[in-house]
Structure formats: C-alpha cells, structure tokens
Amino acid sequence: MSLLTGSGTVAPKRAADAHQEVVRALTGTPKRLPTTWLYDDHGSTLFTAVARQPEYYLDDAEWEIVARHGPDIAARTRARTLVDLGAGSGRKTRLLLDALRTEGSLERYVPVDVSDVGPRRAARALRADHPGLDVRPRVADFTEPLGLAPGGAPVLLTLFGATYGNFRPFGAGRLLDVLRSQLGPGDGLLLGIDLVKDEKTLRAAYDDRAGATAAFVKNGLTVLNRRLGADFDHDDFDHDVVWNPRQERIENALLARRSHTVRLAVPDRTVSFAAGERLLVGVSTKFSRERIRAELTAAGMGLSGWWTDEAHRYAVALASPAEGLRALLPQPWATP
C-alpha cells in the first residue's frame, strides 16, 4: 500500500474530545494522565535525554539488534515505504533505512510523530544523505488511521522504543487493530519489545539517578497547565516507580506529597488529591515471545521474525497480516 498524498498532517483529535478524555482520566479510579500528554516538543527532547541515561538499556539493546539484523529484516520485508511510528529523532530507524536502501527496495520514508521536532531534523539529514529518497514527515497520532490506501508497494510500519508496552491497561488491543487494518499482503509491522527480567534492572531503567525520567514525567503537568489552564505545581508531586509482578509491568506515577486541589480552566473542573495518592502516568509492559505472539494472533497477525540482543534483554518482532508476509523457515520460535 502507499501513503495518500497531502499536507503531511493528519487532523488531530478535536480539542474538546481530547480535553474530555484527559478529564475522565484525571478523575477516574485510579487517576491517570494519558502518556500522549507528555510529548510536546519539550517532552520529546526530555525523552531523548532519558534514552541516554546509563540505566536505560532499552535504547542500546534495540540499536544493537537493528545494527546486527537490519540486513535480514530488509531482505525479509523488501519494503519500499518505511513508516516510522513515533519517530522522534529516528536514530535506530536510520540503521534500518540504510539496510533497506542497500537491499535496493526503499523509495519512501515517512516519519510520524505528535511533535515535528525530531522528524523535521531527521528529514533534513536524510534528504542530504539520500537525495533520491522521498521523505514525507507527518505530524499525527498513530493510534488513529494514518490514511494508508491499498495498492502500490510493500509498506513496513515500525514502532520502536518498546512503545507498544505503554498501551496498558487501555488501548493495546485497539492499537494492534488500527495497525492491522492498515496492512495488506506483503506489508509488515516491526515492534520493539522489552523482555521480562529482574526487578532491579527494570526499576533502575525508569528511575535513573540523574532524574531525567522524573523530569520527563513531570513535564506532563506542564502540558496540562498550558493546554487546560491548570495550576499543577511540580513540587506537590514525587516521581514514583513500581514493578507490578502479576501484570509484568513497570508503573510510572506521580505521588502527591500533600492533600490539595488542582483547578482546570478548560473545562471548568477541579481535581482533588489526597496525600500519598498516585497519579498513574504510564506503564511499560514486559513480554515473553509467547505473550507477544498470542497478542498478535488475536489481532489477526502472525510472528514472522524474532531477534534479541546478545544479553536477551530486548527483542524486535516482525509481524505480518495472516495473508501477508510469507513465513520463512526455519521459524524463529522453532529454534532450540
């Protein structure tokens, strides 16, 4: 399939709908702040700093996998259009892009992000290095259909950074449904997947000594203040990280230091916090190969490829629609 031509911007969710959604989250049980509210331009910059912390192994592990196995991924997919969901700076995708160019298939690169800072910078560099490549940055929410149309050449969607694991407890199934609906025969989906491991390593990755993750999480309060006319005070909250072994996920939260009330101007509402109450900002689910395969199967996709870093901390999974990419032997899960 090929991308529809256009301005490069997908209409975002209506402001009123987005406001109602976040108010429901802030007043629910437990109180939540949807992760998408962390990613304004400054939030994207802060997350880049998080990925550079020594405790945050995910970025390096994913880089290792794509650097080592990019040629294999390129040979399996033969993608002519690479759609990079949540692109950011596109650092790891650049390795895959180069592999696809070496393979001789890639013609078009579409970095997609809610902020245009990273994709815009990446587009400038790529156009300079690959003058024949059609680069089309798009500002969009990839949890909604992007405007892909049937016909044309194979498309490879990439969702790196263990982002898929953030869609808990809400939205994971719907996200896979949305992505699956945009895939046709020959297309594929490449997912970065963080694997279950010891609690100490997991907690350290989300509670770094430099406080980069805490700053990133608290940026969500800044976004709420700006977009909803709220009066959140960063000093009223501590960053709180918990490992939930039953659901195999890290829970990132803000813990209220005192009882207080926050006013939202748009819409006109108040939100009360008790001392010690948690505002759940996001979760990061960890997976086994069996679990991700089951979730893909439920969404009408098959697991076509599986690669891990040398330490087996992290995986990159290639999924395809049931009638899509040909399963190549030997199957990755059949390997002893």
Kindly tell me the burial class for residue 18, based on how many C-beta atoms sit within 10 Å of its own C-beta (0-12, 13-18, 19 or more). Answer: middle
12-26, 102-116, 187-201, 299-313: segment of lowest average pLDDT: 12-26
Lowest-pLDDT range of 34-43, 92-101, 210-219, 251-260? 34-43
Place of tokens 């078009």: 108
| Better pLDDT: 260 or 185 | 260
How large a percentage of the chain has pLDDT more than 70?
Answer: 87
Half-sphere exposure of residue 69: CA atoms within 13 angstroms, side-chain side:
20
Using the 8-state DSSP alphabet, how is residue 11 labeled?
P
Q: Is the pLDDT of residue 5 over 70?
A: no
CATH number 3.40.50.150 given to 54-197+287-321+330-334: yes
Its pTM stands at 0.83
* Cα(208)–Cα(159) distance, integer angstroms: 24
Q: Average of pLDDT values for 220-240?
A: 96
Predicted confidence band at 89 (pLDDT cuts at 50, 70, 90)?
Answer: low
Residue with tokens 């016909």, as numbered in its chain: 151
Phi, psi of 246 (to 5 degrees): -65, -40
Model confidence over 281-329: pLDDT tens digits? 989 999 999 999 999 999 999 999 999 999 999 999 999 997 544 333 2
pLDDT tens-digit map of 148-179? 655 457 999 999 999 999 887 668 889 999 99
Rounded average pLDDT over 34-38: 85
pLDDT at 144: 87
- Higher confidence at residue 115 or residue 91? 91
What average pLDDT does the chain have? 86
Region 4-32: what's the mean pLDDT? Answer: 70
Helix ranges restricted to H, the chain: 15-26, 41-51, 57-77, 91-103, 117-129, 172-181, 199-206, 212-228, 289-298
Average pLDDT, integer, range 43-72: 94
Tokens of 66: 């794509």
Per 3-state DSSP, what percentage of the chain is helix, strand, and coil (rounded to 5)?
40, 25, 35
Are the beta carbons of 228 and 266 closer than 8 angstroms? yes
Number of Cα atoms under 13 Å in the Cβ half of residue 222: 13
Closest CA to 179 of 18, 293, 323, 320: 320
Contact between 36 and 64 (Cβ < 8 Å): no
Q: Is a pLDDT exceeding 70 seen at residue 331?
A: no
Please answer whether residues 169 and 204 qualify as being in contact, where contact means their C-beta atoms are separated by less than 8 angstroms.
Answer: no
pLDDT tier for residue 2 given thresholds of 50, 70 and 90: very low
Q: What pLDDT is recorded for position 11?
A: 42
93: three-class secondary structure by DSSP: helix
Domain boundaries, the chain: 20-34+199-285, 54-197+287-321+330-334
Share of the chain above pLDDT 90, in %: 62
| pLDDT bracket for residue 113 (50, 70, 90) | confident
pLDDT (tens digit, 9 = 90+) per residue, 171-206?
888 999 999 999 988 999 999 999 999 999 999 999
